[in-house]
Amino acid sequence: MSFLHLWPIYVGVGAAALPLAVHWLTRPRPARLPISTLRFVREVVNQRRARNRLRDFLVLLARTAAILLLAAAIARPIGGERALAERESAGSTSRVILLDVSQSMAAGSHGVQNFERARSRAAEYLAYRPGLRANLIQAGAGARGVFDSPSVNLSALHNELAASRVRPERLNLNAAISAAAAELAGTPADARRELVVVSDFQRSNWTGVDFSALPEDTHIEMESVALADAADNLAVLRVGCQGRAVAGQEVRLEVEVGNFSPNARPVEVEVTLGDSAYRLQGPCPAQSTTTLSQEIVLQSVGWQSGEARLVGVEDQLAADNVRSWVLEVRPPPTYALVTRQAPNEAGSSFYVERALAPVLRPDQPRQIRVVRLLPSAMDDESLAGAELIVLDRPGKLGAEALRRLSNLLRRGRALLYFAAEPVDAVNLQGLGDAAGTNLQMPVRFAPPTVGHARRNLFLASMRSDQSPFTVFGDELASAVGSLRFAGGLTSQRQDGALAEDLLASYSDQSAAIVITASGAGTLAVWNVDLEKSNLASSPAFVPLVGELTERLLGRARIRAAVFSGEPLATYLSPEAGSRAELTLSGPPGVSPAAIGELVDERLGVLWRTPHVGPPGIYKALRGGTTQFAVASEIPPEESDLRPLAPGLLKGRLSGGRPIHFHQDAPGTEEGGDWWTWLVVGCVACLLVELVLLRGSRA
Amino acid sequence: MPATSQSPFLDVRAVAALAHMRFTTRKRIEGAYSGRHPSRQQGGAGEFVDYREYTEGEDLRRLDWKVLARSGRAYIRLYQDQTNLLCTLALDASASMLMGAGAARGGRKAIGSKLEYVQFLATALAQIIVDGQDQVGLALLGERLADWLPPAGTASHLARLHDTIERLQPSPTTRMAESLRELFTRVSRRGVLVVVSDFLMDDWEACFAALRLFRQRQWEVVTLHVVHRDEERLPEGTAFRFEGLEREGSIDCSPAEIRELYAARFAAHAAAVRTLALATGCDYRRADVASGYLQVVRSLLVPRFG
């Protein structure tokens, strides 16, 4: 056991003699009195002496114990084993202090942030002593050391520690451990290596910690500043719309709220977007997340920004009660259908065109426009406005067309290929070659062998939990059971590809539907000859096509949110055009480096920055009009304030290394309740004394 | 008889107020001379009291010849002899008798002490006894029989006795039982023994064993148990260093802690003394210093009629 403060111990030991001194100094001076009955007095005194001596001893003991207990309580005992990183140890020592500056450290109670306590704890380890070399690493999304290696300039570390602040970032623990390991590895062999980690030890961050990078003889000291009481935090974890936001169409606004408190709570979220405001309400179970949703209709087209804010919430971490978000509201989509077939020809493209833009009600015009293109007429200009490129019986595509399709795919376009003819296998092979390593399809399509007709096939296996099959729910078997397929291509599994990309297979083990990501876009291949199969005439055709296109377009959405402090590298949407006249802007007060820069690349305009700035909206503007926007956010895992169990950290995650864990939150350190019990013991001693004195008088 | 004593302990007026009373005993006594107290001997002198049938061997001088002549039966005439009283005052001369309200340091006589009380009491009692034509003796009981004045009734003897009482010095240690035994060997005639003591010696039970010797020789023993008020209960105060008067050392204590227990202990001692005195056949009287010595003297006297 050790004590937080030592001076009360010294004072207490000195004061322990106080009862004796007081007793000696204040003892009554007896008056001399001759008496003839001294033997009676002596008899009586002897009779009571045994009891009185015991009483006096107990009273003295109680008084002394009361003083010592009070001194010990003031000294704040700290139980548990001795710290591995001895602050008073002599000799050469290299000490790296890893200070958690992630967003969760801003949590606190009673107006005191965890980070403030962490700062004071870290400062104790920077106290001067001969032979001590130290460095301070501020661990957030990145690891920022004050020096390149441990230094004796402790005053500079103190200044840096005083200037450190919580950053709206997540803790990249492995990067911090690696940085600390590199510094400790460079220290002299005879020096004692110490790693002091001052953190709140969030469960979400520390579960995957790996100390293997540290030198074997490193002494690890864990200083936890996690709050003692149960974490009580509500947070807006995600804001967005399900699917594409199309002007004039209903879209589902979704807000994911996390309740990291021990009690279920009703939550109310106010969401703003542009000039509109929405209010979502609902219950949120304890220790879980819930998604609040509302159907909204957005009228104006373009990038819009806003924020979601929890209403009437006061919790331990206020920063995550607000989350900025951006949304691109697009005009009704346009699909490009590339086919050799004539528009009025009753071929497969006829069915595809109508499945892509179905007529929901006879009195309503189609909201999706399908532009038919001949493969020869396929150029950048004709494809620029198409969000989805559908190829059905395109015939043999040239290398230029395949490269164009590959580039569009990489930049985020969605591609749906109905493979029906043998030449489609050549086109897919050429597309794969053009995309290079960016496109790794799970199967390789090939023309059917001669004499081996593909017919009377049916869907043998499907990923029923994924789109597009989820549209049928429990009716999937009956919906697709009557489908019979013929024609198409054979397929062969490719090694090293993702098997999950194969969504459905036919009864002859050939692939039916394959979806593969390539760059920012997605390629879907539907191996079916609509003219020889009964799929086109089936009621399942339109829903399957609709779901598949939704999935492709959803995947093709450009990432509209990034996490603060982390690298950003995203291509602007093709509609943003070239870099010329594009300017970047961010929240007020953010440095240009945090906003980043635009770079022209072969695939488009790249927006990049090594560290995204604080939460807010970052925009690419041209002439005052937003061409592209991203929202910098606090990582959702920072909202879960539950700490990792010390036993887990010291046991399973330590990898056999000696780790000392110390919790600094008031009342939570090992033996943290001892001071309370010491005070109780002090009061008990005083009560015992009173009882003894009162009993002796009775 | 004119009082020749100049003792400061003799209050002549107070003694004169008790002149109509006399010191007497419940039983017949054995005196040296003719006096006013019934003698144990019923000889030929004195007042006729009764007849008794003659038994062989009796003194024929006391035979009533006239009755023998008339009735032919032999009777002895009985006469009650009157004799004087032989009283011995045995005074406790232990240092514990210095217990009193005032200081008792350097062996100086203390005002209000038990010793002073005993001196007043013994002086008055001796004066009254001598005034009653009786004889009084004095024995000072200390380490040994410190002083011994055989009973006498002369004025010079009384003056000497008063002087002895006046000069009485307490003995640091007391062996009262031995002193009584020594006294027992010195006395020749039976009489009255008045023992005045606080019975605060270690051998107080042995004292009564010695007194039992006197009782066996038909002495009448009167025990005057002198008790001081400060002995019955401890004084008020925070702390005292109690110092023994008989070289017993000292002890520090807080009276408040033991007051009740002490009072019970002293009361038990007083009760034990009384019980043992009565069991020995002694007359027991408690003499509280606070109540005044004349009251005790009066309780020992009976009114003298005629």
pLDDT digit string (tens) for B148-193? 899 888 889 999 999 999 988 888 878 889 999 999 998 888 888 9
CATH code for the domain of A224: 3.40.50.410
Q: How confident is the model at residue A363 (pLDDT cuts 50, 70, 90)?
A: low
pLDDT above 50 for A500: yes
Contacts of B246 in chain A (CB under 8 A): 36
Q: Supply the pLDDT for residue A14.
A: 84
Chain A nearest C-alpha distance from B166 (Å): 21
Q: Is A627 contained in some domain? A: no
pLDDT digits (tens, 9 = 90+) for A54-74: 888 888 888 888 888 888 888
A272 with A310, same domain: the answer is yes
A208 touches B: beta carbon within 8 Å: no
Residue for token digits 């005044």? B292
Closest CA to A105 of A223, A199, A197: A199
Q: Which tokens go with B216?
A: 């066996």
Q: How confident is the model at residue B306 (pLDDT cuts 50, 70, 90)?
A: very low
For chain A, what percent of residues have pLDDT higher than 70? 92
pLDDT above 60 for A668: no
User: Which of A173-182, A424-433, B244-253 has the least mean pLDDT?
Assistant: B244-253
To which H or E segment does residue A81 belong? Answer: none
Q: What chain B residue is nearest to A36 in terms of C-alpha separation?
A: B96
The backbone torsions φ and ψ at residue B287, rounded to the nearest 5 degrees and listed phi first, read -115, 100
A37 touches B: beta carbon within 8 Å: yes
d(CA A112, CA A119): 12
Q: How confident is the model at residue A208 (pLDDT cuts 50, 70, 90)?
A: confident
Q: Supply the pLDDT for residue B108.
A: 40
User: Domain total for chain A?
Assistant: 4
Q: How far is CA B233 from CA A214, A697, B229, B265, in A?
A: 84, 18, 7, 10
Domain boundary at A508, A536, A555, which?
A: A555
Chain A nearest C-alpha distance from B174 (Å): 13
The more confidently predicted of residues B197 and A204 is B197
The more confidently predicted of residues A529 and A50 is A529
pLDDT above 80 for A243: no
Q: DSSP alpha helices (H): ranges in chain B?
A: 12-17, 65-71, 114-131, 155-166, 176-186, 204-216, 229-232, 255-280, 293-300
Chain B nearest C-alpha distance from A64 (Å): 23
Sign of CA dihedral A545, A547, A548, A550: positive
A374 with A507, same domain: the answer is yes
Q: Supply the pLDDT for residue A70.
A: 87
A480 with A519, same domain: the answer is yes
**A44:B265 CB<8 A:** yes
pLDDT above 50 for B110: no
Strand residue runs (E) in B63-122: 75-80, 82-83, 86-92
Q: How confident is the model at residue A392 (pLDDT cuts 50, 70, 90)?
A: very high
The backbone torsions φ and ψ at residue A5, rounded to the nearest 5 degrees and listed phi first, read -125, 135
d(CA A261, CA A286): 6
**A36:B228 CB<8 A:** yes
To which H or E segment does residue A513 belong? Answer: strand A511-518
pLDDT digits (tens, 9 = 90+) for B199-225: 988 888 889 999 999 999 888 899 999
Nearest neighbour of A36 by CB, restricted to B234, B245, B254: B245
To which H or E segment does residue A402 belong? Answer: helix A399-410
d(CA A378, CA A336): 9
* Size (chain B), residues: 306
CATH code for the domain of A520: 3.40.50.880
Q: Is A432 contained in some domain? A: yes
Nearest neighbour of A48 by CB, restricted to B96, B231, B261: B261
Q: Supply the pLDDT for residue B212.
A: 93
Distance, C-alpha B4 to centroid of its chain? 23
- Taking all residues of chain A, what is their mean pLDDT, rounded to a whole number? 85
- What's the ipTM? 0.80
Q: Supply the pLDDT for residue A164.
A: 92
Q: Supply the pLDDT for residue A100.
A: 93
A506 with A375, same domain: the answer is yes
- Taking all residues of chain B, what is their mean pLDDT, rounded to a whole number? 83
Chain A nearest C-alpha distance from B258 (Å): 7
A376 with A468, same domain: the answer is yes
Q: How confident is the model at residue B46 (pLDDT cuts 50, 70, 90)?
A: low
Q: Supply the pLDDT for residue B105.
A: 42
Q: Supply the pLDDT for residue A80.
A: 56
A178 with A280, same domain: the answer is no
The answer to whether the beta carbons of residues A218 and A247 sit under 8 Å apart is no
Q: Is A169 contained in some domain? A: yes
pLDDT above 70 for A2: no
Q: Supply the pLDDT for residue A137.
A: 93
Whether the bond between A588 and the residue before it is cis, its omega within 30 degrees of 0, is no
A195 with A99, same domain: the answer is yes
A44 touches B: beta carbon within 8 Å: yes
**A53: number of Cβ within 10 Å:** 10
pLDDT above 80 for B261: yes
The more confidently predicted of residues A273 and A243 is A273
A505 with A429, same domain: the answer is yes
A124 with A97, same domain: the answer is yes
Q: What chain B residue is nearest to A35 in terms of C-alpha separation?
A: B244
pLDDT above 50 for A637: yes
Nearest neighbour of B252 by CB, restricted to A30, A37, A48: A30
pLDDT digits (tens, 9 = 90+) for A394-430: 999 999 999 889 888 887 889 999 999 999 999 999 9
Q: How confident is the model at residue A4 (pLDDT cuts 50, 70, 90)?
A: low
To which H or E segment does residue A39 belong? Answer: helix A38-74
A43 touches B: beta carbon within 8 Å: yes
Q: How confident is the model at residue A445 (pLDDT cuts 50, 70, 90)?
A: very high
SS3 B118: helix
Domain boundary at A327, A346, A367, which?
A: A327
Closest CA to A555 of A654, A651, A666, A414: A414
Q: How confident is the model at residue B103 (pLDDT cuts 50, 70, 90)?
A: very low
**B200:A42 CB<8 A:** no
The more confidently predicted of residues A266 and A358 is A266
Taking residues A448-476, report their average pLDDT.
87
Q: Is A632 contained in some domain? A: no
Q: Is A633 contained in some domain? A: no
Chain B nearest C-alpha distance from A30 (Å): 4
A90 touches B: beta carbon within 8 Å: no
The more confidently predicted of residues B30 and A589 is A589
Fill in the DSSP letter of residue A560: -
A211 with A278, same domain: the answer is no
A50 touches B: beta carbon within 8 Å: no
> Which one of A32, A41, A693 would you mutate to disrupt binding with B, by most B Cβ within 10 Å of its Cβ?
A41
Contacts of A34 in chain B (CB under 8 A): 98-99, 103-105, 242-245
Q: Supply the pLDDT for residue A361.
A: 64
The more confidently predicted of residues A588 and A578 is A588
- Per-residue H/E/C for A134-202: EEEEEECCCEEECCCCCECCHHHHHHHHHHCCCCCCCCCHHHHHHHHHHHHHCCCCCCEEEEEEEECCE
**B240:A40 CB<8 A:** no
**B254:A32 CB<8 A:** no
pLDDT above 70 for B31: no
**B97:A36 CB<8 A:** yes
pLDDT above 90 for A269: yes
Q: Supply the pLDDT for residue A78.
A: 66
Strand residue runs (E) in A171-287: 192-199, 219-224, 234-242, 250-259, 265-273, 276-284
What residue type is assigned to position B31 of the chain?
G
Q: Which tokens go with B107?
A: 């062996």
A452 touches B: beta carbon within 8 Å: no
Q: How confident is the model at residue A231 (pLDDT cuts 50, 70, 90)?
A: confident
Range 376-405 of A in CB contact (< 8 A) with B = none
Q: Supply the pLDDT for residue A83.
A: 57
Domain boundary at A523, A555, A587, which?
A: A555
The residues, ordered by sequence, that sit 6+ positions from B123 with a Cβ below 8 Å of its Cβ are: B5, B7, B9, B10, B162, B165, B166
Distance, C-alpha A282 to centroid of its chain? 23
User: Which of A292-301, A550-559, B293-302 has the least mean pLDDT?
Assistant: A550-559
Q: How confident is the model at residue B69 (pLDDT cuts 50, 70, 90)?
A: very high
Burial A640-658, CB ≥16 within 10 A → b, else e: bbbbbebeebbeebbeebe
Contacts of B266 in chain A (CB under 8 A): 37, 40
Structural domains of chain B, ranges and CATH numbers in brackets: 12-27+85-299 (3.40.50.410), 42-80 (no CATH)
Chain A nearest C-alpha distance from B42 (Å): 47
Q: Is A428 contained in some domain? A: yes
pLDDT above 70 for B303: no
Chain B nearest C-alpha distance from A51 (Å): 11
Q: What chain B residue is nearest to A697 in terms of C-alpha separation?
A: B257
d(CA A92, CA A252): 62
Contacts of B237 in chain A (CB under 8 A): 31
**B258:A45 CB<8 A:** yes
Q: Supply the pLDDT for residue A102.
A: 93
Chain A nearest C-alpha distance from B205 (Å): 15
Q: Supply the pLDDT for residue A394.
A: 93
Contacts of B198 in chain A (CB under 8 A): 36
Closest CA to A445 of A507, A525, A390: A525
A300 with A378, same domain: the answer is no
For chain B, what percent of residues have pLDDT higher than 70? 87
Taking residues B19-35, report their average pLDDT.
71
The more confidently predicted of residues B19 and A460 is A460
The more confidently predicted of residues A675 and A533 is A533
Q: Supply the pLDDT for residue A340.
A: 92
Contacts of B97 in chain A (CB under 8 A): 36
State pTM to two decimals: 0.54
A660 with A682, same domain: the answer is no
pLDDT above 60 for B302: yes
Chain A nearest C-alpha distance from B111 (Å): 14
Paired strand residues for B138: B89, B149
Domain that holds residue A281: 237-327
What residue type is assigned to position A474 of the chain?
D
pLDDT above 90 for B272: yes
